[in-house]
Amino acid sequence: MRFASTRGQAPEVGIDDALAAGLAPDGGLYVPVAIPQAGMDHAGGTLAETATALLAPYFAGSRLQSQLPAMCRAALDFPVPLQPLNHPGDYLLELFHGPTAAFKDIGARFLAEALSRLRAPDAPDTTILVATSGDTGAAVGAAFHRREGFQVVILYPDGRVSPRQAHGLGCFGDNVQALRVDGTFDDCQRLVKQALTDSALRETLTLGSANSISLGRLLPQMAYYAHAALQFRAEQGTSLNFIIPTGNLGNALAAWLARSMGLPIGEIVLASNANDALPRYFAGADYLPQAGKATIANAMDVGAPSNFERLRWWHADDASVRAAMTACSVDDDGIRQAIKAAQARHGVVPCPHTAVGLHALADSRARGDERPWAVVATAHPAKFETVVEPLVGHDVVPPPALADALARPAAATPLGLDYADLRDWLLEPIATA
């Protein structure tokens, strides 16, 4: 399989080069030039087996081709259950049972398996730069922590992640450093993009990216959609529709890609917080990237979703993009209501992001929609206890992996918005603990 840049000014590459580069040299995002058909029509098998089958066509001709089953087994070794809620047709697809309690673990762990297997043993260290609105950084940090040949630098918006998220970003040490940036997630993303396209910097440092722009994260995320949809069709005989809490559009794009490969996925709804560039676009307005607004679903505080560029590339025009999915937006009050309603109606406590999706589901049910819907549960509520606990009136107990991270000391270095400061910091020899 060949991969092209969305901006059309860079040569096509194979997956190994696309994974190593992250961003294409023209600043675009890599996309497979064709979408293969999965030819998977039966359920059964593990998540890792589903992932292997789905990813195989993308890794045809790769140095990793024969290692793909082992990579999927190593990366996707925790459950992703489709939990029925107590209203018929309502489900949660729980993606928060990994080491950092958010769905980002799936892509980050697969990417780490891929990059460490692609690395030549005598190569200089790769510095992975990652901008995070909260969860990606921890997932990437955990996936690369103490991996030979890698340094990880995490940039997060200071004061805009939950206290437990901040702790989880700064708690690694060793080869993983956290920078708390005096700005928004979009600022962090811009700084990372600037570094990745700084050819002078790249003469000195081998850089890699781990944002959702990386195919190594995007592609494996198809696996849980495929797995749940195949299981659902085997049991219920129909396609499963998905409501996906959306920020940078990586998770939802994976669902769209899985559906395009022929998996029995019905409608895709993007559920946004008050950052509504996508809902406005899907309602017919021009796509207008905005500055990120702070909300209580902070991992989705993205005003300029990077993966929109991929979605647009695969479609002939805006009308066909708009036919592919729909989008809605809910503000913080709506999120708070949805958290309380989930507890009252379903007896579950969602994280604020998952609550954005549950709000969208409640709206569809109120309109009389009786189709089966799975809301993607993107993080564990204990990561956002300062939002969730006052609303539900009791403590939310962290899962064991999160409790371990919280028990370790944490530290982060402050960083301003001037790119030169990041460049200078990167060029200083990274202190290893």
Ligand X SMILES: *Cc1c(COP(=O)(O)O)cnc(C)c1O
Residues interacting with ligand X, by CB under 6 A? 102, 104, 135, 212, 245-252, 299-300, 351, 353, 378-379
User: Shortest gap between Cβ of 173 and ligand X (angstroms)?
Assistant: 23
Rounded to whole angstroms, the Cα distance separating 143 from 77 reads 13
Rounded to whole angstroms, the Cα distance separating 425 from 166 reads 20
Phi, psi dihedrals of residue 144, rounded to the nearest 5°: -105, -5
Closer of 176 and 205 to ligand X (Cβ): 176
Closer of 376 and 415 to ligand X (Cβ): 376
User: Shortest gap between Cβ of 152 and ligand X (angstroms)?
Assistant: 17
User: Shortest gap between Cβ of 291 and ligand X (angstroms)?
Assistant: 17
Closer of 214 and 246 to ligand X (Cβ): 246
User: Shortest gap between Cβ of 205 and ligand X (angstroms)?
Assistant: 26
User: Shortest gap between Cβ of 297 and ligand X (angstroms)?
Assistant: 7
Closer of 62 and 295 to ligand X (Cβ): 295
User: Shortest gap between Cβ of 248 and ligand X (angstroms)?
Assistant: 3
**Cβ neighbours around 159 below 10 Å, total:** 10
**Cβ neighbours around 432 below 10 Å, total:** 9
User: Shortest gap between Cβ of 31 and ligand X (angstroms)?
Assistant: 16
Closer of 13 and 296 to ligand X (Cβ): 296
Per the rule left: phi > 0, alpha: psi between -120 and 50, beta: everything else, 249 is left
Closer of 25 and 289 to ligand X (Cβ): 289
User: Shortest gap between Cβ of 250 and ligand X (angstroms)?
Assistant: 3
Closer of 40 and 270 to ligand X (Cβ): 270
Q: Which of 176, 186, 128, 127 is nearest to 156 (CA)?
A: 186
User: Shortest gap between Cβ of 258 and ligand X (angstroms)?
Assistant: 14
Closer of 62 and 251 to ligand X (Cβ): 251
Closer of 62 and 354 to ligand X (Cβ): 354
